Amino acid sequence: MYRNTEDSSDKNYRNNFIFFPFVVINPSLEVEAAAKDYEAKVRAKFPNVEWPTFDLLLLGMGPDGHTASLFPGHALLKEDKLWIAPISDSPKPPPCRVTMTFPVINKARCCIFAMAGQGKADMVKRILGDSEALPSGMVKPINGELIWILDEGAASKL
């Protein structure tokens, strides 16, 4: 429903990194129910707080500058009440996804974008070099650190 295409960051991270136990999205639920279920699970890990503070969020960036299923021009960019939101009209397949919102992302202690390849260079320049207002550029931890890890190809136009 919303995961593990051959080129997804999720699949790449799962196949190439070791993870400690983490909260998972239930793919057997419809997207709205999956988002509510996931938010309940995350809230259980962060009880009695207005917004959770993750130690680290490892993020990717799509060819349109989206991150965490937060797409340019989409209403979810302005979501400020939900921790976790459903998206059922994604402009990139799959159409149904579950995402953290910017208030959650920007409360993290550290957000890291990791990317490689010349194919990312134009978008990296638009966000880091030109400060274009795209979702990946909206990741700005309030009391945390933002790190971009780029190989030579991804950084080639900076």
Q: Whole-model pTM? A: 0.84
For residue range 15-33, list pLDDT tens digits in order. Answer: 655 455 678 899 999 999 9
155 half-sphere exposure, CB direction, 13 A CA radius = 7
Domain 31-155 has CATH 2.40.10.340: no
**42 closest CA partner among 67, 25, 18, 19:** 25
Nearest to 125 by CA among 135, 137, 138: 137
Lowest mean pLDDT among 20-24, 31-35, 43-47, 83-87: 20-24
